Each structure stands twice: as structure tokens, then as C-alpha cells.
A and B are shown apart, each in its own frame.
Chain A
Amino acid sequence: MRLLVPIAVVGALASSVSTQPAAAPPVLRARRATATVALKIYNPSGSTRLVGWDRDSVVIRGRVSSHDHFFFGGDSANLKFGIEEGSSSESARPADLIVYLPRRGSVSIKSVDASIAATDVSGWFYTVSGAIVLAGRAQNVDAESMSGDVMLDLSTPWVRARTGRGHLVVRGAPEDVDASTVGGALDVLTSSIMRGRFASVTGDIHYMASVARGSLFDFSNHSGAVDFALPRNVSATLDLSSVTGQLDDEFPQLKPAAAPGRRLQTRLGTGDAQIVARTFKGAIRVRPQ
């Protein structure tokens, strides 16, 4: 049940990015750009929505407080823009930006508490306390939040995601995933991953999907749980170990091949995927979907 909320959030935010609002905010800048244009964006507070499109131009819409300055510079291959605080002693007022850029372009965007939402955009996304919601197709994605939620619904060859106490959700069709939290829950809800590394310190990790043939997974947690909900016909070798935590399995065919202490090594089906999970004192659970 707890997973339904983030899924709904991803869906709602992703659709809000792709649809046109009734009254679009004014154009701040528009410029022709190369197909692989690189954007460097700084919007400390408010929100930034990024939309990849099939045009050879960058268009920035939004509203900026009269106290702050919208800076913009660069050429058709490299652009830098954002909000600069009007006074060095004050924080910037919230600004809501919508940025359209070529699909093959990339961004390097940073915010303090502004949320970042993107569809069909690649690059580096960073916020201190805002949320990051990324959807669509991307070449590569690196998403980091100090304390905000990170919601990924992406089709991409490579993604890296980090948050501290935020909730991290991986959906869509990523292939190579490296994701971790400190205390936030980490939910993996996709069967497309070929190489996955998932870690937390105290947050629970939930893997609720099938596993691809030939895929490799590594799960690591200190005191949080690692919870697998796998299809009954899953084909994988499992190497599960916990120093002091509980190992629970509800698969009827799961018989420990060797179980010294708290370790379980076994094979389900023909063992087409490899799953390694280790915790210090967090529980490891394996159950059929």
C-alpha cells in the first residue's frame, strides 16, 4: 500500500511535465541550439521543469521575482542560466521555470529547495532538499538529493541516484542502476535491470519485480531490511547473508544449500540471474509475489 503513493506522485508529476498548462508563463529566453546542447542551470528555490523536445532550440519560460536576476549566457552548444539572488544577504525568491531543450541535449542543474521534474532529459540533477522526479527516455542520469525524494521512471542505459532520508523509487526500464539512501526507503519496481547495486544504512530496501536473465544484483544494508518479492517462477542464484539479522524465506522450494550461521545460498529455477544481499542486523526476506 505504501508504494502506491510514490507511484501516483511519479505519474502525476510526469504528466504535469508533458502537458501544456492552460496559461503558459512568459518566455524568458529562446535560442537556437545544437542537438547536443549542454545546459547549466541554477534555480535555488521554487521549481524547474525540463522537457526534452524534437526542436533545435531552447526555450525558457517562467516568472522571476523582481528582486532577483535572471542570468543567461553562452552559445548554441553551451548555455548557462538561472536565478541569481538580488542581494547577497537574502535568499532567492521562489521562481518557477519551464525549460524546453533538444532531447539529445544534457543538463547540469542545481537547486537548494526547488523541486526538479524532467521528461526525456539526460544529465546531472542535484538538489539539497527538493524532490527530483525524472521520467521518459534518457542517455544517462545522475540524480542527487541531500534529503528530498527521488522518483525515477526512466528508460535509460545508466542511472545513479542518491538521497539521504528521502524516498528513492526506481521504475521504468533502466539497465544499469546504482542507487542508495542513508535512511530513506529504496523501492525497486522494474524488471529491466541488468546490473544493479542498491545500498542503504537504515532505510528498508524493497525489490518487487522479476529479474532479467543474466542480470547481476548487489544489495547492502546495515540495519534496514532487504525485502524481495519475486515471481514464483524466478530464475536466480541467491547469496543472502546477515551478521545478526533474521533471514526469512517464504518460497516453498527455497532450501538452504549451506547455512553456516545466517547465510543462505541457493538456486531458484535454473539460476539465470545472480543476487547477492548482505546486512549487518537488518532482516532479509524473500517471498513469492
Chain B
Amino acid sequence: MTRVRHLSEEERHGLAEGSLDDDGTRDAEAHLAVCASCAADVTRLRSLMRRIESAPPPTDDLDSLWPGIRSRIESGKVVLLQPASRTGNRRRGWMAAGLVAAATIVALAALELRQDRASGRGLATTAPASLSLASDSARLYRDEATRLLDEMELRRATLPPATRTAIDDDLRTIDDAIKELEGAIAHDPSNPALRQLLASSYRQKVDLLERIGNAG
């Protein structure tokens, strides 16, 4: 049995808008003569293009369409939203600035590390600076995670049960890691590797909470 090769999307589109070359048009037309499926599709495309060309330009912009859709979605939700804190946006701005600062700190630490390597200095000599930078970074990520946790509670209720379970498991996994690292730091506070791992775990938590926020 020979399998029929249908026209590709490009061929169908090109035929409908008349942009195929002569050979392509001839081959495609020949296929349409024996293939009802492709012929019907090209006919639909031609009809669509005629309608598009004759239609007036859209008057509604995206911003005017979305609120109506959004309000219909929101009206079906049963979660009672707490009034937003007046300082929320301002605090968010500060936290964004904090994260930028954290990123800068991490970048500076990386740069410092590279310079140290280039100059032949051992890692041990840079430990105090790395320790301080990693501590600041972990603290900023931790503060951001705390803020995002408050927001997550609202999002969480709108998610399917299986997803909520997955989120809870992931958060527990990260929190267990953080708890373990903080315990280790209590015993060895001058270990920069522990601080870097803690910052990495908090970063994971911030990422996860942001993903949950995006689900709404």
C-alpha cells in the first residue's frame, strides 16, 4: 500500500495566497485534483484570506480585551483574596532591588574568584570575603522567599490537588536541605562552601515560589 504524501503546511499556504512558483503551483494543483482533504483545506485557507483582506483592521487592542477575559476567570474562583498590603508594591520594589544587589554580590564574588585564580592566590586566602558575600546573598534570597511564600498561599488554592502535592513535596525537599545546611553552618560558621550551598538552596526556593506564582 502506498502512503499518500499530503501537501505541507507551507505548500498549502503558498497555494492559497498564490506565492508558489509555477512548478510548485502545478504540482500542488495536481495533488489537489486527487486529494479531497488537501483541496478542502486550501479552499478554507483561500476563503479565510479573502475574509481577512476584506475585514477592517481590529479596533480593540490587547489591553482592552484581556481585562474582560481575566474578570470572567477570576469571578469563578472561590478563594477569598486578602486586600493587598499598601506597602506591598513598595516592598516588592525594594526586594527587587535587593535581588539585583544579591546578583551583583554573586557576580562580584565570581569575579573576585577568577581574579584570585588568575593571580595564583589560593582559595583559602579569599575565604572571609567569600563568606561575607555568600551570607549576604543567602539572606536576600531568604527574605524574598518569605515574601513569595505569603503570595503562594493564594495561588496554591487554585491549583489541581496533584500539583499542590508536588509543590508541597518540592518545598519540603528544599526546606529540609536549608535546615540541614543551617545546622551545619551553626557548627562550622566560617565555611564558605556551606554558605554558598545555602544561597543556592534559597535561590531554588525563590525560583520554585516564582513558578508557583506564574501558575495563576
Contacts and interface: CB of A to CB of B under 8 A. Distances in A.
Interface size class of B (residues with CB under 8 A): 35 or more
A288 interface: no
Interface stretch (B22-30, B59-67, B86-94, B139-147): B59-67
Interface stretch (A84-92, A131-139, A204-212): A84-92
B163 A147 contact: yes
A78 to B, nearest CB: 6
Interface string B57-86: 110111001100100110111000000000
B153 interface: no
Interface of A: 20, 22-24, 26-27, 30-32, 40, 51, 53, 55, 57, 59, 71, 73-75, 78-80, 84-85, 87-89, 100, 110, 112-113, 126, 128-129, 144, 146-147, 162, 164-165, 180, 182-183, 199, 201-202, 220, 222-223, 237, 239, 241, 243, 258, 265, 274, 278-280
Contacts of A53: 9-10
A280 B211 CA distance: 25
Contact of B160 (A88, A112, A165, A202): A112
B51 to A, nearest CB: 10
A220 B197 contact: yes
B37 A32 contact: no
B148 to A, nearest CB: 14
Given A24-B41, A147-B166, A180-B204, A280 B177 contact: yes
A93 to B, nearest CB: 15
Contacts of B77: 88
Contacts of B34: none
A162 B211 contact: yes
Interface string B6-24: 1111101100000000000
Given A71-B69, A73-B62, A32 B177 contact: no
A74 B62 contact: yes
A182 B170 contact: yes
